[in-house]
Amino acid sequence: MSEKHIDEISGVETTGHEWDGIRELNNPMPRWWVWTFYATILWAIGYAIAYPAIPMITSATKGYLGFSSRAELQQDLDLAKASQVKFQDMIAAKTVQEIDADPALREFAIAGGASAFKVNCAPCHGSGASGGPGFPNLNDDDWLWGGDLDSIQTTIAHGIRFDNDADTHVSEMPAFADMLDKDQIRQVAAYVWSLTNKPSDEALAEAGKQVFLDNCAACHGEDAKGKLEMGAPNLADAIWLKGRGEEAIVQQVTAPKHGVMPGWSVRLGNTTVKELTVFVHALGGGQ
């Protein structure tokens, strides 16, 4: 094998291997390629020593550096949790006004409030908080019990006509079926409707004004714009909680319906109630 065989056609040295007259030319790989190849082998060995690599029966070799993607994830999670706990502690310690005034805290509270709202409040108030018959829209600036931060917090914490909470909002509209006769009820309904719409009968509405002042103004106000401390809705806007039209008003006056909402401070805790307060206040109608 010492003598060289040169292929006559290509002029390239052969390896000396020959099958049926076909000779193998000796074309080695370029140096740089070979060295790169060796380098990758060395890298792979080093990597297999430093990091978990070789599968064993229950797990893999641990690796010299002790790296674990699970531990890394856990570390990330711990960090995230620590900053969340930090924010939550701050929310627990601060008033809703202080939370609302601090941009980072406010953002955190709104995010937390939004997710708590989806789970606990959306079934009644709708996923966009726009309400429905009997359930108020929380996006508008029409408030039954007040739209400033403190009022919203009280409402959410203690609920409305919620028997299990001594601090809940109470106040009910009396049933006027026994106090007013049918005509008076038709009159006052026409009057209330006339504040925002064309009544079925102008004279009827005219006559209803006095009935209203005598029987309804104590709660709904002489101007019918409602009273927050009574939870008595504004009747002079075109927003109706119970239903639209004179017939709906007749019904509410004859046999009033009252909305009930549970209080949330016991169930969700005060921190979540604060987050919900800042969230609801930020929906657009906060005062």
Which residues of this chain interact with ligand HEC, rule CB under 6 A? Answer: 117, 120-121, 123-125, 134-136, 138, 143-145, 152, 155-156, 160, 171, 173-174, 176, 188, 192, 215-216, 218-220, 230-233, 235, 240-242, 249, 252-253, 258-261, 264, 276, 280
96 versus 152: smaller Cβ distance to ligand HEC: 152
Minimum CB–partner distance for residue 123 and ligand HEC (Å): 5
- What span, in angstroms and rounded, lies between the C-alpha atoms of 185 and 179? 10
Q: Which residues of 199-218 are buried (b: 16+ CB within 10 A; e: fewer)?
A: beeeebbebbbebbeebbee
98 versus 142: smaller Cβ distance to ligand HEC: 142
Burial class (CB in 10 A: 0-12, 13-18, 19+), 166: exposed
How many CB atoms are closer than 10 A to CB 67?
Answer: 12
Is residue 171 within 8 A of residue 232, CB to CB? The reply is: yes
- What span, in angstroms and rounded, lies between the C-alpha atoms of 40 and 229? 78
Minimum CB–partner distance for residue 169 and ligand HEC (Å): 7
Minimum CB–partner distance for residue 45 and ligand HEC (Å): 59
105 versus 261: smaller Cβ distance to ligand HEC: 261
52 versus 285: smaller Cβ distance to ligand HEC: 285
Minimum CB–partner distance for residue 89 and ligand HEC (Å): 22
- What span, in angstroms and rounded, lies between the C-alpha atoms of 15 and 1? 9
51 versus 145: smaller Cβ distance to ligand HEC: 145
Minimum CB–partner distance for residue 184 and ligand HEC (Å): 8
